[in-house]
Amino acid sequence: MTRIAARRRRWPWIVLIVVVVLLVPIAIIVVPILTHESSGQSSQQLVDGEWPLSVTAEGDDGRTRTLTLAGENGEPIDTEALVRGERVVVTGTGYDGTQGVYVAVCVIPETSADKPGPCIGGVPSQQQENVAEGTVQWAPSNWINADWAWRLFGARSYDDTATGTFTAYLELGDPLGEDADCITNECGIFTRNDHTALNDRVQDVYVPVQFTE
């Protein structure tokens, strides 16, 4: 009877430990999402009619972000005549490395207060099977996040979290796909905060692009 009583007394502690083990990781992920406050807007300025390969934006948070496009081997690309399947290397610096970003071709919103989108490729995913470490994974959209928890779900880390420097590898999807129409609409290769800060527009930076039909 003594052993049975001892076992019964241990069960509540075992349950408590299991609950803590389950809830702590969830809290680490969920609490920052629920408590995040907007840092403002990116305040990016573009000149109509220009097709730059690099843009800079001085955000309301005091950070100066730079977004640059290049071809697969570093060569210049024609952003007025992109084609499906073309590979584009996107580099950024000056971003908030504590906050994740999506990188994708998105429809330019009507105002800077609106979230860019829809985007070609939908929600980014980098998960691929049997990929050797260090191998470049090309996808229609990329997800950059330095948090170890989100990297388990396919996010790529920043190259340098302190300076907010990253590299994304886009293999352009269908401009007339289900996710977005970038033939009829004006689009750009965007960065925007990931799902952990969906309503924060401070990292909305883009290079305008156009597809050939």
| Residue whose structure tokens are 């990188």 | 103
The pLDDT assigned to 186 comes to: 95
In sequence order, what DSSP letters do the residues of 73-89 get, joined into one string?
A: TS----TTSB-TT-EEE
The pLDDT assigned to 121 comes to: 83
92/195: higher pLDDT:
92
What's the pLDDT tens digit per position in 104-156? 999 999 998 999 999 998 666 545 444 444 567 899 999 999 988 877 778 89
User: CA-to-CA distance for 122 and 135, rounded, in angstroms?
Assistant: 22
The pLDDT assigned to 85 comes to: 95
The pLDDT assigned to 7 comes to: 58
Could you tell me if residue 122 is left (phi over 0), alpha (psi between -120 and 50 degrees) or otherwise beta?
A: left
Instruction: Kindly tell me if the per-residue pLDDT of 25 is higher than 60.
Output: no
The residue type of 37 is E
What's the pLDDT tens digit per position in 32-46? 554 557 789 898 988
CB 107 within 8 A of CB 117: yes
CB 165 within 8 A of CB 191: no
3 state DSSP class of 19? helix
What is the average pLDDT across 188-202?
94
| Residue whose structure tokens are 């105002």 | 111
Q: 29 falls in which pLDDT band (50, 70, 90)?
A: very low
User: CA-to-CA distance for 188 and 191, rounded, in angstroms?
Assistant: 9
The residue type of 189 is I
What's the pLDDT tens digit per position in 43-101? 898 877 789 999 999 999 999 999 999 999 999 999 999 999 999 999 999 999 999 99
pTM here is 0.81
Instruction: Kindly tell me if the per-residue pLDDT of 192 is higher than 90.
Output: yes
